[in-house]
Amino acid sequence: MIEPTLLNARAASRRGLPLAPLAVELRTRLQAIIAAHADPATGSLDYRAIRAAADFGAFVEVTRGLAGGRPDELKTPEEQIAFWLNLYNALTLHAIIALDIKNGVGEVDEFFRRVRYDVGGDHFSLVDIEHGVLRQNRPSRNQPEVTFPPRDRRLRWLIGRFDPRVHFALMCGARSCPPIRAYAAARLDAQLDQAARGFVRSDVEVDRRRGRVTLSRIFYWYEDDFSGMLDFVLRHLDPGPTRDWLAAHRAGVRVRYRTYDWGLNDAGIRA
């Protein structure tokens, strides 16, 4: 039995606020933390500095207003996707600091199911956000059962459309995860494209001599989400000889998956 850890409990006297403006404020606060405390080259975060920063206290306060939200306040799929991406990244960052994680999220038993936010009176873990909401309750290799059973209240929060590029926008606190970003509904398509292209550029390795391509395990875990894994890679790989070779040889290329590094993506020196 998992003991949930709710990180945004609010005082009974405090009223929830409309979700749309809170979503914008959450993005603004998250972006300020990223700008001040993320390594631009690696995307790693200085968690110790964040803990001590005034920006972090203001960010936590914003999350405490989420309990009054309603799904119909997020009108478009772009607003929905941007909000839930930012919420996932916010919850990961918040939990690492609140639980004083030093070396990796594996220090906390069932981390991805344990830490939660209250949104509109419903409690969401990282698993709930990723697999239930953003992936529209789809099973996968690492989540073989649906996240939300029939008649679960949280089904009302499922996004209006699925976009496989969200896999490269979710920061799970590990070195092998994509870097943290804050997403805006008005720029979502361009931001997701940038995230996917950046991840493919830095993580996909094509070995022409061995006829082999090495991919992140994200592609293995969620292969069905991409509707043609190598086609997705080719769409997001930079133009040039490597892309041309892979396009010409994809039918016979061997695919292997990189070992996932679950070490904490910490840019600071931990005590």
Q: Dump pLDDT digits (tens) for 3-46.
A: 899 999 975 545 667 899 999 999 999 999 999 999 988 889 99
> Helices 54-63 and 77-98 meet at what angle, rounded to 10?
120
Q: How far apart are CA 179 and CA 40, in angstroms?
A: 9
Average pLDDT of the chain to the nearest whole number: 94
Give the DSSP letter string of the chain: ----EES----TTPPP--HHHHHHHHHHHHHHHHHHHB-TTT--B-HHHHHHSHHHHHHHHHHTTGGG--GGGS-SHHHHHHHHHHHHHHHHHHHHHHTT-SS-GGGSTTHHHHEEEEETTEEEEHHIIIIIIITTT--BTTB-S-SS-TT-GGGGG--SS--GGGGGT---SBTTSPPP----GGGHHHHHHHHHHHHHHHH-EEETTTTEEEE-HHHHHTGGGGSSHHHHHHHHSPSSHHHHHHHHHTTT-EEEEPPP--SB-B-S---
pLDDT of residue 12: 53
Single pTM value for the model: 0.96
pLDDT of residue 41: 81
Reported as a single tens digit per residue, the pLDDT across 234-263 is 999 999 999 999 999 999 999 999 999 999
Q: Residue 270 — very low, low, confident or very high, per pLDDT cuts 50/70/90?
A: very low
Q: How far apart are CA 164 and CA 227, in angstroms?
A: 9
Q: How far apart are CA 48 and CA 12, in angstroms?
A: 30
Q: Which amino acid is at 167?
A: H
pLDDT of residue 156: 97
Whether residue 111 has pLDDT greater than 60: yes
pLDDT of residue 13: 44
pLDDT of residue 247: 96
pLDDT of residue 225: 97
Please answer whether residues 17 and 65 qualify as being in contact, where contact means their C-beta atoms are separated by less than 8 angstroms: yes
Reported as a single tens digit per residue, the pLDDT across 146-195 is 999 999 999 999 999 999 999 999 999 999 999 999 999 999 999 999 99
pLDDT of residue 17: 74
pLDDT of residue 268: 78
Whether residue 231 has pLDDT greater than 50: yes
Whether residue 1 has pLDDT greater than 70: no
Percent of the chain topping pLDDT 70: 96
User: What is the C-alpha radius of gyration for the chain, rounded to an integer number of angstroms?
Assistant: 19
Q: Which pair of structure tokens corresponds to residue 189?
A: 């398509």
pLDDT of residue 271: 42
Whole-angstrom CA distances from 158 to 4, 135, 163, 268 are: 22, 8, 13, 36
